[in-house]
Amino acid sequence: MVFETRLIIIISTFVVLTCCLRLGVEANGSLDDMFEEYAHNSLPTHQKTGVLYNASLPSNLTGIEVSVIRLRWDSFWAKGANYSGFQMPPRIFSYPYSPRLDIVYSLVDNQSSYYYSYYNVANDHILVAPVVGFNVYGNNFTAKLNLTLFGGPILIRFPQVINEKAKCVVFYSNGTFGMSNKTRQDMCLVRDQGHFSMAVPKEELEDVKEKRENLWKWWVFGFGIGVLGLLLIGFIVFIFIESIRRRNIQKMEKEAEKNEVLETTYVGQSKMPLATVVRTQPVIENDYVP
């Protein structure tokens, strides 16, 4: 029975993805149904409130993460929730009323452009962050709940985004998307559940890429010039030191020539002392001749 259930889920997944990609129907709704199914099956029989459970996904959904957490309604109203990069403030009213809430978080990483290409966001923009989302359901996933924020907005953090010109993107269930300015380098503010990401215009990203390539070329050119400059300076220093050494040797030789008694001569490349040959004159030992 368990095997048949898993087989049905896998087949349903392929059908859902095929419909979403080819027919362009409400992608968020179809994906949400799939994420809800995996999240519901991942909950243990005796689940605990306030504990985040990661859903087990098939191998064909590599790059997708789904998790679920169960909270009490009064705790969610009083404290909010801070999980999976979403900071939900207190005083969020969910209806219809359910004593317990199931919040399903999703992250579509390396397949973001694949799943959301038909939103036409890929025509003029490039996603620079994973597509993250959350949906709130009643106890045991009886129904999807609506949210009304009486406090501050919901904060989404994208820690991997460093592009200053990136904008926040929200994907709607009717196949459209909206864009807004981010609050900080990697944060977006939203006021409802759904799917979100960050994107930059294609021309700006291409300009940044071109600038990086030019900067890399100039860096390589400057590095080469620097190496040649160092070699040239080293050669000049070597010639200068060698000339000083030779000059000192010549000076020492001249000083030695002034003080030497013996004459000198060169034999090949060597300087040798030379003494004048003086033959000793014969002397008679005794001048007396008998």
- Tell me: pLDDT of 157 over 80: yes
Q: What is the mean pLDDT of the chain?
A: 78
User: Residue 227: inside a domain, yes or no?
Assistant: no
What confidence tens digit (pLDDT) does each residue in 85-111 have? 999 999 999 999 999 999 999 998 866
Q: Which domain holds residue 85?
A: 2-201
In-domain check, residue 214: no
Residue 154 is predicted with a pLDDT of: 95
**Is residue 250, in this structure, part of any structural domain at all?**
no
Q: For the chain, what is the domain count? A: 1
Of residues 190 and 285, the one with the higher pLDDT is 190
Q: Model confidence over 247-269: pLDDT tens digits? A: 888 877 777 666 655 566 767 66
In this structure, is residue 235 part of a structural domain? no
Establish if 232 belongs to a structural domain. no
Tell me, yes or no, whether 87 lies in a domain. yes
Residue 223 lies in a domain: no
pLDDT for 67 beyond 50:
yes
Rounded Cα distance between 158 and 38, Å, is 24
Helices (H), the chain: 2-23, 27-42, 73-79, 112-115, 121-124, 202-259
Contact at 8 Å (CB) between 161 and 198? yes
Task: Check if the beta carbon of residue 181 is closer than 8 Å to that of residue 149.
Answer: no
Q: Is the residue at 143 inside a domain?
A: yes
- CB count in 10 Å sphere of residue 197: 28
The segment with the largest mean pLDDT, out of 38-42, 87-91, 168-172, 231-235, is 87-91
Residue 219 clears pLDDT 80, i.e. is over it: yes
Residue 189, domain CATH = 2.60.220
